């Protein structure tokens, strides 16, 4: 840790009216098989969106009078043959920031086909060395991802790096800022592992051995390690974003779902407002024949309106282990919306 860390305090990025983020999963297929993959083909579909759907759905979510950020994800979005056409169509439609979240393989020769000002590239890496990253993400992944990230930097792309923190790698998070500095990456997203996809499967699952440790961080690990690492990264000139998780006394609770400002689109046409709901058929909307129609019956929308002392309702239902109670049974902290972020500026 450097001596400057106390100068780099986190500020909360409260949701702003009019802010809009479109998370577009183009496919669920991937060339990797990460241990904590959150993709759930039973719920999200097995095939990619067609070229026609890609173009039609981009139009469906475009709002000419409102700024929208667009994030292409998968599976691995660079496996989709029409990704570059999708980026260009999105620019024509007025999407403001366009990001491609990649596992680093940059299929279909992406760097040669995309201009650096057309999209930001966000690389996922879960460890500072192959010894930490590759048991989580796959053999050889560290070398490929870091080499392609450096090529993207050299080509003039704006890049960021996403680290998904879990018990498998939290002890090595402190080494990441030095790696980002070396790679020339100036933006760092620390993500917290969620109980979704593979992480949500019971330990007696055939795909997850009995010996698999619990992946989620303890509240102590999160609060003690993450802010310090973020401050260290900022001292090295890196902007850091990480989830808020624990609200301080007096801080307002906001549910992004109520504000309908983030949309999570899946290849089977489901559209969620809350990422914690993605393992269940609770999606608020469904795309049918190119139109956005409400999903009838019980959906995530009914959950958003429930007010509880613990803060986020879905957190309480899915991962109550991160809530501490005092001897009177009152929660010591409310849990923020999982989409609420902290930012530490250089
Ligand atoms: S790169 Fe992403 S989509 Fe592919 S296996 Fe890993 S977590 Fe899942
Ligand atoms: S994570 Fe919680 S607070 Fe955020 S949208 Fe979902 S239910 Fe609402």
Nearest ligand to the C-alpha atom of residue 141: 1
Q: Is the CB of 282 under 6 A from ligand 2?
A: no
Dist. CA 78–CA 103, nearest whole Å: 9
Residue minimizing CA distance to atom 4 of ligand 2 = 337
Q: State yes or no: pLDDT of 213 exceeds 50.
A: no
Using an 8 Å Cβ cutoff, are 29 and 73 in contact? no
Dist. CA 113 → ligand 1 center (Å): 23
Q: Which CATH class is domain 5-251+338-344?
A: alpha beta
Ramachandran sector of residue 106 (left: φ over 0; alpha: ψ -120 to 50; beta: rest): left
Q: How far is CA 289 from CA 60, 286, 295, in A?
A: 11, 10, 14
Question: Cα(108)–Cα(23) distance, rounded to whole angstroms?
Answer: 21
pLDDT 10s digits, 119-171: 999 999 999 999 999 999 999 999 999 999 999 999 999 999 999 999 899 99
Distances (CA, A) of 201 to 42, 52, 204: 13, 34, 8
Q: Please say whether the beta carbons of 116 and 158 come within 8 A.
A: yes
Residue 307 neighbours by CB under 8 Å, 6+ apart: none
- What is the band of 245 on the pLDDT scale with cuts at 50, 70, 90? confident
pLDDT of 229 higher than 80: yes
54-90 pLDDT, tens digit per residue, is 999 999 999 988 889 999 999 999 999 999 999 999 9
What does the block give as tokens for 110?
A: 């992406």
Q: What's the CA gap between 192 and 155, in Å, rounded?
A: 30
- What is the DSSP track for 216-276? SPPHHHHHHHHHHHHHHHHHTT-EEEEE--EEPTTPPP--HHHHT-EEEE-TTSEEES-GG
Instruction: Confirm or reject: Cβ of 37 under 6 Å from ligand 1.
Output: yes
Confidence check: pLDDT of 214 > 70: no
Model pTM score: 0.92
Q: Shortest CA distance to 158 belongs to which of 205, 126, 111?
A: 111
Q: Which of 23, 274, 305 to mutate to test the pocket of ligand 2 (most atoms within 8 A of CB)?
A: 274
317 lines ligand 1 (CB under 6 A): no
Q: Which residues contact 75 (CB under 8 A, 6 or more apart)?
A: 25, 26, 27, 28, 29, 30, 39, 48
- Compute the average pLDDT of residues 209-235: 78
* Ligand 2: centre distance to CA 256 (Å): 6
Ligand nearest to the CA of 253: 2
CA distance 27 to 73: 8
Q: Using 50, 70 and 90 to split pLDDT, how confident is the model at 6? A: low
255 in contact with ligand 2, CB cutoff 6 A: yes
The tokens of 142 are what? 């560290």
Highest mean pLDDT among 36-45, 144-153, 291-300: 144-153
State the average pLDDT over residues 204-228.
Answer: 65
Q: What is the mean pLDDT of the chain?
A: 90
Least confident segment among 61-75, 227-241, 309-323? 309-323
For residue 296, pLDDT beyond 60: yes
For residue 303, pLDDT beyond 90: yes
How many whole angstroms separate alpha carbon 284 and alpha carbon 265? 11
Judged by DSSP in three states, 122 sits in strand
Measured from the Cα of 124, ligand 1's closest atom is 1
Least Cα distance to 91 among 132, 120, 51, 125 occurs for 120
DSSP, collapsed to helix, strand or coil, labels residue 313 as: helix
Residue 196 confidence class, pLDDT cut points 50, 70, 90: very low
Higher pLDDT residue, 19 or 158? 158
What's the pLDDT band for 201 if we cut at 50, 70, 90? very low
Reference 163, options 184, 140, 136; nearest CA is 136
What does 2-63 look like in DSSP terms, one character per residue?
-TTGGG---EEEPPPTT--EEEEE--S--S---TT----HHHH-SSPPPHHHHHHHHHHH--
Residue 257 predicted with pLDDT over 80: yes
pLDDT > 60? residue 3? no
C-alpha to C-alpha distance for 148 and 134, rounded to whole angstroms: 16
User: Which of 104, 115, 49 is closest to 82 using CA atoms?
Assistant: 49
Pick the range with the lowest mean pLDDT from 18-27, 71-80, 86-95, 316-325: 316-325
Is residue 15 within 6 Å of ligand 2 at its C-beta?
A: no
Are residues 256 and 24 in contact, defined by beta-carbon separation less than 8 angstroms?
no
CA of 81 to the centre of ligand 2 (A): 33
Q: How far is the CA of 273 from the centre of ligand 2 (A)?
A: 8
Beta-bridge partners for 161: 123, 188
Nearest ligand 1 atom, CA 197? 8
């Amino acid at each position: 840790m450097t001596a400057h860390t106390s100068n780099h305090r986190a500020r909360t990025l409260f949701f702003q009216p009019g802010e809009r983020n479109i998370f577009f999963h183009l496919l669920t297929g991937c060339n990797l098989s990460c241990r904590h993959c959150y993709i759930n083909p039973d719920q999200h579909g097995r095939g990619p969106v067609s070229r026609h759907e890609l173009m039609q759905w981009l139009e469906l979510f475009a709002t000419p009078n409102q700024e929208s950020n667009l994030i292409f994800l998968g599976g691995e979005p660079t496996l989709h043959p029409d990704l570059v056409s999708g980026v260009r169509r999105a620019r024509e439609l007025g999407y403001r920031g366009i990001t491609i979240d990649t596992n680093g393989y940059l299929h279909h020769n992406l760097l040669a086909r995309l201009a650096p000002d057309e999209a930001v590239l966000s690389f996922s890496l879960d460890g500072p060395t192959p010894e930490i990253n590759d048991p989580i993400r796959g053999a050889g992944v560290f070398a490929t991802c870091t080499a392609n990230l450096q090529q993207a930097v050299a080509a003039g792309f704006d890049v960021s790096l996403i680290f998904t923190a879990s018990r498998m790698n939290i002890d090595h998070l402190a080494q990441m800022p030095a790696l980002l500095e070396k790679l020339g990456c100036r933006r760092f997203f620390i993500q917290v592992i969620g109980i979704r996809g593979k992480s949500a499967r019971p330990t007696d699952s055939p795909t997850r051995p009995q010996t698999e440790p619990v992946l989620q961080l303890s509240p102590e690990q999160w609060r003690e390690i993450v802010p310090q690492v973020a401050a260290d990264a900022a001292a090295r000139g890196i902007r850091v974003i990480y989830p808020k998780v624990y609200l301080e006394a007096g801080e307002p609770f906001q549910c992004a779902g109520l504000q309908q400002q983030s949309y999570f689109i899946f290849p089977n046409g489901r559209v969620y407002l809350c990422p914690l709901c993605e393992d269940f058929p609770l999606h608020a909307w469904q795309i049918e024949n190119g139109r956005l129609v409400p999903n009838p019956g019980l959906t995530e929308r009914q959950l958003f309106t429930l007010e509880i002392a613990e803060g986020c309702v879905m957190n309480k239902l899915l991962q109550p282990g991160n809530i501490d109670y005092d001897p009177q049974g009152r929660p010591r902290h409310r849990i923020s919306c999982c989409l609420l972020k902290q930012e530490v500026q250089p």
